[in-house]
Amino acid sequence: MLAARRRPAPWNGRGDVAVRIGERRLERGRLLPGQQPDTDPLALVLIHPDTETALTGTLHCAQNRIHGAWTGPYRLFTHALAERDLPAAVDLST
């Protein structure tokens, strides 16, 4: 689990991404349809790690917030698993 966080799988522009929220949390992000993966910032929504329900509206996420490709062990670092709400004003622009 910690190894996955220290050595993230590179994101190849396809599939879901692990997005850094704050110092210790990761969330599952999904690019909007038609979004080019080399764009900065990326337009995405944060989704629940288990149900794939959208947790946010469209967010603009700086490329440097992308931790890597989403993998199952990252769910342990999400707000959902900790039974916490996402911060009210999620800012991923920097």
Structure confidence by residue, pLDDT tens digits, 23-77: 788 999 999 999 999 999 999 999 999 999 999 999 999 999 999 999 989 998 8
Q: How many residues does the chain have?
A: 94
Residue 5 above 80 pLDDT? no
pTM to 2 decimals?
A: 0.88
Q: How many helices (H) and strands (E) does the chain have?
A: 1, 5
Q: Pull the structure tokens for residue 2.
A: 């910690």
Cβ pair 14, 66 in contact under 8 A: no
Q: Are 55 and 49 in contact (CB under 8 A)?
A: no
The residue-averaged pLDDT of 2-30 equals 86
At 11, the pLDDT band (50, 70, 90 cuts) reads very high
Residue 21 DSSP one-character state: E
Domains parsed from the chain with CATH numbers: 2-77 (2.30.30)
